[in-house]
Amino acid sequence: MEISKLLLTYLGVSHRESFAEVLSSELFSSIISLIEAIAPQGTSFRKCSEHHEEVISVKGGEITVLLSNIATNAWESMTEGGAISFGCGISHPSEIIKFTHFPVDWADSRKHVYLEIADEGCGIEPDVLPRIFDPFFTTKFIGRGMGLPVCLGIAITNSCVITVSSNPGKGTAFRLHIPVTGGNIDE
């Protein structure tokens, strides 16, 4: 993707994909299958055992890009091997705000469903964590510093919030929290 398109995505104005109501479990299952298919040979995975049948309204292609970018960072951080774990569940705003979250000015009163991608990689130092979604910021030798800013732009466009917890030397967990629209998908 050229840099101008990446910047537009970061600003939340680049895609013309429409919102669609989907079941969270179906979207998460398809994204997890895709991530497993594109991961480097030898990457091991642990899958969530919980499945939540919540109706969400998202731009599915954008959410796939967001979670694929986070998964790519996860396996790139595991230079000495390890596993990527997928978790899912229900979250409420009172729980979400207890974590380092992006955008930092996020506020929402709705129930959310989340998908977590956790790695056993190098982790993120506490002084670096506030900057990881800044355009052009990178700690990698090779990289443009636009992967996570694009993720943040997509999250904002889809009314989502991303929480991050990290333990340097042990790994990082990213959670994408998507607001539940309620109702039944058939209604």
User: Which tens digits make up the pLDDT trace of 121-180?
Assistant: 999 999 999 999 999 988 877 777 889 999 999 999 999 999 999 999 999 999 999 999
Question: Is 34 a member of any domain?
Answer: yes
Contacts of 130 (CB under 8 A, 6+ apart): 100
Question: Is 185 a member of any domain?
Answer: no
Distance CA(11)–CA(137), nearest Å, equals 16
Give 108-112 contacts, CB < 8 A, sequence gap 24+. Answer: 108/159, 108/161, 108/179, 110/179, 110/180, 111/54, 111/179, 111/180, 112/161, 112/177, 112/178, 112/179, 112/180
Confidence band for 14, pLDDT divided at 50, 70 and 90: low
Q: Which of 37-41, 117-121, 125-129 has the lowest mean pLDDT?
A: 37-41
Per-residue pLDDT at 9 exceeds 70: no
Structure tokens at 110: 């709705």
Count structural domains, the chain.
Answer: 1
Distance CA(150)–CA(94), nearest Å, equals 26
Question: Is 174 a member of any domain?
Answer: yes
Question: Is 96 a member of any domain?
Answer: yes
Per-residue pLDDT at 6 exceeds 90: no
Question: Is 46 a member of any domain?
Answer: yes
- Spatial contact of 84 and 145, defined as CB atoms under 8 Å apart: no
Measured in degrees and rounded to the nearest 5, phi and psi for residue 152 equal -65, -45
Distance CA(124)–CA(164), nearest Å, equals 10
- Find the domain containing 65 and state its range: 3-179
Measured in degrees and rounded to the nearest 5, phi and psi for residue 168 equal -50, 130
Question: Is 186 a member of any domain?
Answer: no
CATH code of the domain covering residue 38? 3.30.565.10
- List, in sequence order, every beta strand (DSSP E) within the chain: 20-23, 44-46, 55-58, 83-91, 100-102, 112-118, 161-167, 171-179
- Spatial contact of 157 and 59, defined as CB atoms under 8 Å apart: yes
- Spatial contact of 155 and 132, defined as CB atoms under 8 Å apart: no
What pTM was computed for the model?
A: 0.89
